[in-house]
Chain A
Amino acid sequence: MSRTGPERASSAAGAAPMIDIRHVRKQFDVRGGGEALVLDDINLSIAANQFLSIVGRSGCGKTTLLNIIAGLDAASGGEVLIAGRRVVGPGQGQGMVFQQHALFPWLTALENVVFGARSLPLAKAEKIDRARELLQLVGLEASAGKYPREMSGGMQQRIAIARALALDPDILLMDEPFGALDELTRIEMQQELLRIWEARRKTVVFITHSIGEALTLSDRVILLAPHPGRVARDIAIDLPRPRSRTDRRFNEFYEQIWSGLSS
């Protein structure tokens, strides 16, 4: 690959990818014998601070791929490198936001965010300070003492983002985080996420089944084709932000992705 050539590597800043997915394959044992190939030879290089979305039909292996990057699941073949180090488990700079917020119901908003920082070598008071700062970042400092069941879906998802950020991860992995929200809340959350991404500069891998959402947010959109999951298209979205859904080029990208998905 030209990327590894000496001239390229020295010329572009941060040329070594933040996430390097190499020949990743995943198969599951099927009940009653046999194996199902879910991911086949996935190769992706994701630069630092890039906002990348993965779009694909449900069941095509998006969550499986994200779990492998997160170190929550092992690949059957190939490897994932984060900043050059092979992923062997969680805690290598990956912060995760799950589809169903997955907040701990017995902890308050603040305690959930503090939980996110639990593996950091900080004093308890510092973790609490950091958590308060993050609650402020997601606009929920007033709800610090609320329990998840006392909050709306949008608030819960904000807390989940703050909790993932508490780990101070280089990478934010998000699995259809806004899938369960109503349209208005969803658009608000997208704006919020872009604001946070600009403020904190993370590498984001964002899974969605909404083409509009992927186009609103991303520098780059990957189309995952099913059976087995593989990269079908890799599209750079070179539109300035904030993006408008009525923009001509936005719609051209939309058509391009739609045709890729429906083919």
Chain B
Amino acid sequence: MRSGSRMGDAMWGLAGILIVLAAWELATRLGAIDPTIFPGPIAAIRSAAQRLPASVFLDNMAWSLFRVVGGFILGAVAGTVIGFAAGWYRGFGYFARPLIELLRPIPPLAWIPLAIIWFGLGEPSKFFIVFLGAFFPIVTSAYHGITHVDPSLIRASRSFGLKGLGMLFHVGIPASAPDLATGLRIGWGLSFGVLVAAELIAANRGLGFMIMNERTSGGSVSVIIVGILLIGLLNLVTDAALAAFIRRWIGRWHGG
């Protein structure tokens, strides 16, 4: 999409969000939904703020962000390196691909019990689950990218004397950048999803923990609603930042 219409699209998107929020607020005020189990947005924010100080929300957000960034970076580095290596070096591909295909269908959350046994309840187990969420889409996209380099570019680079690692770095990797970028965005979204789920099950801080703890300790439904909104907002903002980074990286030559 051209950048000229990007602002316009954003305005429409914002309008949609505001309309739904207004309808929600209206529905609770008119008594169409029961505010004790589903308060309106204004009431939810007000009572959540009364129940917990802002620092608690920020603290839990910071923990979730820290875990997702850490696990994502690990998954992105491993996925990129292994995906490129498996696609570029035939022998390594034969060795690694069946292994990846075998592990990929396992939902990352199924690893939680093992993660707790191996890494305990602390941060490493969260990193591990997030790592799994990021790794598979990224390794797949890196592999796809490097195995679908336009053969005429390979030929052209050979005619200028490139081979081996020089060709990998100067042709294979840049040519794979658009595929890799897609994998990074999918991986980021998945990382976020699995982290919150992991925090719901086994954590003592983070947004997922916060909302689950509120339910099990008989706390306020408002905090749960605000927590859910914060999870969505944090994912939205960070994904937009990643998209902007990708546009700066490859947008000019690749388009989009």
Cβ B160 vs Cβ A115 within 8 A: yes
Q: Does A96 belong to the interface (CB within 8 Å)?
A: yes
Cβ A104 vs Cβ B174 within 8 A: yes
Cβ B253 vs Cβ A149 within 8 A: yes
Binary interface profile of B, 171-184, with partner A (CB < 8 Å = 1, else 0)? 10011010000000
Please report A residues at the B interface, Cβ cutoff 8 Å: 70, 72, 90-91, 94-96, 98, 100, 102-107, 115-116, 118-119, 147-149, 163, 167
Residues of chain B within 8 A (CB-CB) of A119 are 160-161
Cβ A104 vs Cβ B153 within 8 A: yes
Among B150, B161, B252, the residue within 8 A (CB) of A90 is B161
Please report B residues at the A interface, Cβ cutoff 8 Å: 150, 152-153, 155-162, 170-171, 174-175, 177, 250, 252-255
Contacts A106-B174, A149-B255 given; indicate if A167 touches B160 (C-beta within 8 A).
Answer: yes
8 A-B pairs besides A98-B155, A115-B170, A163-B160 with CB distance below 8 A are A72-B155, A90-B160, A90-B161, A95-B159, A96-B159, A100-B152, A104-B157, A118-B161
The answer for the CA separation of A141 and B157 in the assembled complex, in Å, is 23
Residues of chain A within 8 A (CB-CB) of B170 are 115
Residues of chain A within 8 A (CB-CB) of B160 are 90, 115-116, 118-119, 163, 167
The answer for the CA separation of A96 and B250 in the assembled complex, in Å, is 27
Q: Could you tell me the distance in whole angstroms from the C-beta of B89 to the nearest C-beta in chain A?
A: 21
Q: Considering residues B159, B170, B254, which has the most beta carbons from chain A within 10 angstroms of its beta carbon?
A: B159
Least CB separation from B171: chain A residue: A104
The answer for the CA separation of A98 and B177 in the assembled complex, in Å, is 23
Cβ A105 vs Cβ B253 within 8 A: yes
Cβ B253 vs Cβ A90 within 8 A: no
Q: Could you tell me the distance in whole angstroms from the C-beta of A212 to the nearest C-beta in chain B?
A: 26
Residues of chain A within 8 A (CB-CB) of B156 are 96, 98, 102-104
Residues of chain B within 8 A (CB-CB) of A107 are 253
Residues of chain A within 8 A (CB-CB) of B159 are 70, 72, 90, 94-96
25 contacts between A and B (CB under 8 A): A70-B159, A72-B159, A90-B159, A90-B160, A90-B161, A96-B156, A96-B159, A98-B152, A98-B155, A100-B152, A102-B155, A102-B156, A103-B156, A104-B153, A104-B171, A104-B174, A105-B175, A105-B253, A106-B174, A106-B250, A118-B161, A119-B160, A147-B253, A148-B253, A149-B255
Residues of chain A within 8 A (CB-CB) of B175 are 104-106
Least CB separation from B175: chain A residue: A106
Among A70, A103, A106, the residue within 8 A (CB) of B177 is A106
